[in-house]
Amino acid sequence: MNEQVLFAKQMLTAAGWLQNAFAVVNSEGRLQEVGIGEPTGARCFDVLLPAPANIHSHSFQRAIAGLTERREGRSEDNFWSWRRLMYKFLDHLDPEDIEAIAAQVQMEMLEAGYASVGEFHYLHHQLGGTPYEDPAELSHRILSAAKDSGIGYTHLPVLYMHAGLAGEPLAGGQLRFGCTLESFTRLFESVDSALPNYPGDFHLGVAPHSLRAVDYEGILLTDKLVSNGPIHIHIAEQTAEVEEVRHSLGATPIRWLLEHMPVDRRWCLIHATHADESELRQLAASKAIAGICPITEANLGDGIFNAVAFSESNGRMAIGSDSNVRIAMAEELRLLEYSQRLRFRRRVLLTSGELSCGRFLYDQATLGGAQALARDAGRIETGALADLVALDAENTPLHGRCGDELLDAWIFASDDSIVTDVWAAGRHVVQDGRHINRDRIHSAFNSVMENLRSEH
């Protein structure tokens, strides 16, 4: 990678907003220098920001986006009926399909302004549960999609042991997820030993799926496998699940996890949707990230995370696109705030001190996102990875705005179509609003979708 010199009329740095500033990206994809002035030969942009991380994705679910909006039979439609449809769809996916879908999803994320993603990867085996020759075949497929799309990547292989808290065996579509502690360790080690073949900013974390699917020994194992994290877990997405955990384990999921595991800044709790204020206070004090997926949580009818109480306790959040029904960063942040406004019937709820609401939300997505993916990024500062996003401020609602108003205008008055350029660890993969390999990645995705449709 050649050294790049970037100039922006407005730049959000770790030291605050700078006007007419430059940033030098070195050949390792890190920021080498940040300062005021316009060096000769610099590429010019209107607005340059640190790019957020998308901390929670199941990439293959993008392929069923928009196909689950009809009521199933005469029954009430909810998360569990959506999940049945998703499992049925899994029967048709082979490794090539999974790689092509992942590359498309990562490309869409980059074009939306995300520089990195954490893939919560639970699809491990062949149809019926037989392992591939390399037990980590499908993990390697997603890693290879990430190398192709150029996204910054944290792989989170999922330990999924049983179908419910009573240890019910896996069945049907779930057989593709299941691992014992031994087989999961082998899978993890296969990914770990292949990591040097990928860019230096790729990381390996781990994900015990949920308290429904993993027991105490399983969670302990995952904690041991990655001493520096990250560790992600689905925690309290559905009220039925919270009740089931309370009944079986004697405490609600968040409380149980905080009491039984060394939860700290390595951890990211996905969908802490159903939590009382004391759980939120303790979670905030643990320094773990609350991973919120506002669009998916709305689509699935999960409920509303109490982000107001959590941020009043100085809890740190990050955002994810989860089911990938939409890949839209500004919309995730807008919905995070709007869900609170609707809940509490007040305005401008997620903010602190002098920061505007848009700035506060954006700081969560960049700084919280970097922590959740164990990525040395999320800020424009010498030494950090160059995860950057540039915006068009001329022909958009951003025109004439400066400082935090730019973020407010992007999040509340515009959308991701104003993203012009994105760098992931210095890889300049979105240029003039398009991913550099969009046509190739998109046509591979389209042919997978055509084949899948003909199989139905």
Cα–Cα dist 300/303, whole Å: 9
Q: Could you give the CA distance from residue 440 to residue 174 in angstroms, rounded to a whole number?
A: 32
- Catalytic-labelled residue, pool 121, 271, 274, 428: 271
Return the residue nearest Zn ion (CB atom). 322
For Zn ion, give the closer residue by CB, 297 or 363.
297
The rounded distance, in Å, linking the Cα atoms of 9 and 401 is: 11
241 vs 322, which CB is nearer to Zn ion? 322
Q: Is 322 a catalytic residue?
A: yes
DSSP bridge pairs for 31: 25
363 is catalytic: no
Nearer to Zn ion, 322 or 363 (CB): 322
Q: Which residues contact 289 (CB under 8 A, 6 or more apart)?
A: 55, 265, 267, 268, 269, 316, 317, 318, 368, 371, 372
Which of the following is catalytic: 322, 363, 404, 421? 322
| Local structure of 131: helix, strand or coil | coil
List interacting residues with Zn ion (CB under 5 A).
322
Nearest of 370, 351, 342 to residue 411 by alpha carbon: 351
Query: Three-state SS for 215?
Result: coil
Q: How far is the CB of 58 from Zn ion (least distance, A)?
A: 6
**Residue 210 beta carbon to Zn ion: minimum distance, rounded to whole angstroms:** 9
Smallest distance from Zn ion to CB 213, Å: 12
Considering the complex, state which of residue 25 and residue 335 has its C-beta at the smaller distance from Zn ion. 335
Whole-angstrom Cα distance, residue 203 to residue 192?
9
**53, 125, 170, 206, 402 from 163: Cα distances, Å:** 30, 16, 5, 19, 52
Q: How far is the CB of 64 from Zn ion (least distance, A)?
A: 14
Could you tell me where the DSSP H helices lie in 51-136? 79-90, 95-111
From 245, 238, 258, 250, select the one nearest 315 (Cα to Cα). Answer: 258
Question: 187 or 269, CB closer to Zn ion?
Answer: 269
Least distance in angstroms from the C-beta of 148 to Zn ion = 23
**Residues catalogued as catalytic:** 271, 322
